[in-house]
Amino acid sequence: MLRIYHNARCRKSREGLQILQESGKDFETREYLKEPLSEKELSKLIGKIGIKPAKLVRKNETIWKESYKGKDLSDSEIIKAMVENPKLIERPIVETENEAVIGRPPSNIQKLL
């Protein structure tokens, strides 16, 4: 089953959602700002993408700049920051049972279809 971690206020996330809708495949939508991920869920998702946690952070967000930028943070501290501040999570993310991609550019989602 496909799942998209979605923020309806984000243009790229809406584009990713549209790609899934047009694919005709079954998928579920999780609005992660309304239903935040746990540390375990986020760690597993990062593992599926195959990146370091810092690569999933939206570094232009004010909360990042004011509270975290320039600090030497461990992977677990970065994950904790994203769990506590879901706006920091890059979007959209689409996952399958075994892998996941960041939908930036939205064409990355095609890799899972």
Looking at the annotation, which residues are catalytic? 10
Q: Pull the structure tokens for residue 42.
A: 């986020």
Question: Which residues are paired to 95 by β-bridges?
Answer: 3, 100
Strands 27-31 and 93-95, how do they pair?
unpaired
Angle at which helix 75-84 crosses helix 39-49, to 10 degrees, equals 120
DSSP letters, 9-61, are T-HHHHHHHHHHHHHT--EEEEETTTSPPPHHHHHHHHHHHTS-GGGGB-TTS
